[in-house]
Amino acid sequence: MEREIHITLRLSLATGKVNLNEIVYRLKEIGDAVKLEVLKKILMSYDDLIAERLSKTKVYTSKDRKGLGRHIRKSEGGFCRGRKVRKRGYRQESRNISTVFGGLKLPVRVVECCRCAARYSPLLAALGLEPYARKERNFEHEVIESVIDTNYRRLIDGRSIDISLGGIHNIVVGSDIGEIFQETVSTEGLSAIMADGTGVKQKGGNKGELRAVIGITKGGCVKPLGCFVNTPWPEVEQSIKSRIKETEQYKIPFVYDGEPGLDDFLADVAESQRCTWHGPRGLYHSLWQDGLKKKGSKPHTDNIKQLIGVELPEGDFEILKEEDKAQVRNKYETSKADIQKLIKVFYAKGYKHGATYLEKLSTRLFTNIELWLETGVIAPKTTSLLERVFREIGRRLKRIAWGWSDSAVTNISKMIMIRQYSRDQWEKYWKKKLGIRGYFNIQIASVQIA
């Protein structure tokens, strides 16, 4: 059905004095107010159309009334099949709804069912508004986007949007983000999986731990796999495992920085790879426990940095010369042997901590090299990508989410990750949530000045 809306704007203009900026400035100012008024008119006329169809059963067939007038029977409960109504004026109170344009005060019609005499407002059901909903979903969407962009203040200031930090918290807690993004991920498209944790400030100044697991695609992009707050690693592992589809081919590296509890994480699908950046630092700490000062341990940590740093040649594995591959294999084998020698030296010198640290490290240092020699896949060997993800999440949490509950921090972290790294899925998620299906269109037909 096509209709027209006529808007009358009144303007005064000081000829010879006004500049372009002032005109644009004022127009910008009334933008949301105009849209809010238009929205109100559209909704009220929609309300009229619905009431027309439901009350004039001689004009409109039951097909015209399809999807309209669903209501609960007055007595006995359950849905009434009656679709003929009498108009009964408007509700005493307008319905207040927060929209992206500001607060809307919407007068809402009441009708009476001719069959069961129940009084109800058919507009609300037609709009998909739940009985106590006070916000439309675009509003939620914009609030969440602005929280993620750390500019929610700008969203609120200058508009009649009424949302507190508590309100944002409730939107985030009520989100279904956790249940939606659970599709299966095949290890075939991944070059590695990483997991780590970072501290977050929570209620009462308590420190919580945010844990995240990501995949790295063969193209080097981040694929979010999960976010958890104050969750034990075995539980995290269970949840991630249920989403991962193994491939028989080979095991991809699981990169971590030595966090206790991650040594055998996802052992069925991945081969542990200790972060090569954290390796020398960990050794430094272990040698410190053995009584070595920085001066004494530096030659050893420098040495290990050298041994770990097996560089992979760039370019396509398939067209690499055999001698290039042999070079890598040589360096890898000597490095491995040298580390074993170093462990013996540490034991001989009585550096027990250093020796056991290196022993544990040594079996998980070259997974990416072994994978490359076997398959040509270049896998990451540090957790730096995940650390970047944590920095991005942390920067946003600091602004808004301190003092938030576990589920709120979990949800907002998921949102930040998915929006940042799975943009397409994020857009699709919201479009579906908003129910954008092409049932409403509006264009400017003409603008004339009187």
Structure tokens at 277: 């950046």
Task: Round to whole Å and give the CA distance between 237 and 74.
Answer: 51
Closest C-alpha to 80, from 42, 18, 20, 122: 122
Q: Minimum distance from CB of 397 to Zn ion (Å)?
A: 50
Stretch that binds Zn ion, among 30-38, 107-115, 184-192, 245-253 (CB under 5 A): 107-115
H helices of 266-366, in order, are 278-289, 294-308, 322-349, 352-362
Q: How far is the CB of 123 from Zn ion (least distance, A)?
A: 16
Query: Smaller CB distance to Zn ion: residue 80 or 361?
Result: 80
Residues, the chain: 450
Nearer to Zn ion, 82 or 103 (CB): 82
Return the number of the residue (88 or 285) whose C-beta is nearest Zn ion. Answer: 88
Segment contacting Zn ion (CB under 5 A): 41-49, 108-116, 131-139, 421-429?
108-116
DSSP class of 314: P
Contacting range for Zn ion; rule: CB under 5 A; set: 18-26, 114-122, 342-350, 385-393: 114-122
Q: Is 421 helix (H, G, I), strand (E, B) or coil?
A: helix
Report how many residues bind Zn ion under the rule CB under 5 A.
Answer: 6
Query: How far, CA to CA in Å, does 390 sit from each of 66, 83, 393, 414?
Result: 50, 55, 5, 11
Q: What are the residues whose beta carbons fall under 8 Å from the beta carbon of 105, sequence distance 6 or more? A: 40, 94, 95, 96
Q: How far is the CB of 82 from Zn ion (least distance, A)?
A: 4
Minimum CB separation of residue 106 from Zn ion in Å reads: 24
Smallest gap from Cβ 80 to Zn ion, in A, equals: 3
Q: Which stretch binds Zn ion (CB under 5 A): 30-38, 75-83, 370-378, 418-426?
A: 75-83
Cα separations in angstroms, 152 against 394, 396, 404 = 16, 11, 17
Return all residues near 399 (Cβ < 8 A) that are at least 6 apart: 150
What are the phi and psi torsion angles at 61 (to 5°)?
-80, 170
- As a whole number of angstroms, the distance between CA 131 and CA 42 comes to 20
Instruction: Give the 3-state secondary structure of residue 284.
Output: helix
CB of 118 or CB of 385, closer to Zn ion: 118
CB of residue 113 to Zn ion, shortest distance in Å: 3
Nearer to Zn ion, 118 or 373 (CB): 118
Compare residues 86 and 433 and give the one whose CB is closer to Zn ion.
86
Write each residue from 366 to 385 as x if it is in contact with Zn ion (CB under 5 A), else as -, in one continuous string: --------------------
Q: Tokens 């206790």, residue? A: 260
- Candidate segments 110-118, 237-245, 263-271, 418-426, binder of Zn ion by CB under 5 A: 110-118
Q: Which two tokens stand for residue 265?
A: 């994480």
- 3-class state of residue 351 by DSSP: coil
Nearer to Zn ion, 27 or 72 (CB): 72
Residue span binding Zn ion (CB under 5 A) among the ranges 115-123, 192-200, 260-268, 298-306? 115-123
Which is closer to Zn ion, CB of 114 or CB of 345? 114
Token duo for residue 361: 């490290």
Residue 113 lies near Zn ion (rule: CB under 5 A): yes
Which stretches of 205-245 are assigned E, i.e. beta strand? 207-217, 222-229, 244-245
Distance, in Å, from the CA atom of 45 to the CA atom of 48, rounded to the nearest integer, reads 5
The percent helix, strand, coil of the chain (3-state, each to 5) is 45, 15, 40
Smallest distance from the beta carbon of 108 to Zn ion, in angstroms?
A: 18
Q: Residue 114 gets which letter from DSSP?
A: T
User: Residues 37, 82, 180, 405: which binds Zn ion (CB under 5 A)?
Assistant: 82
- Which C-beta is closer to Zn ion: that of 7 or that of 117? 117
Separation CA 294–CA 215 (nearest Å): 36
| Residue 115 in the binding site for Zn ion (CB under 5 A) | yes
Residue 80 within binding range of Zn ion, rule CB under 5 A: yes
Q: Which one of 38, 49, 116, 156 is in contact with Zn ion (CB under 5 A)? A: 116
Stretch in the footprint of Zn ion (CB under 5 A) among 77-85, 237-245, 257-265, 379-387: 77-85
Residues that bind Zn ion (CB under 5 A): 80, 82, 113, 115-116, 118
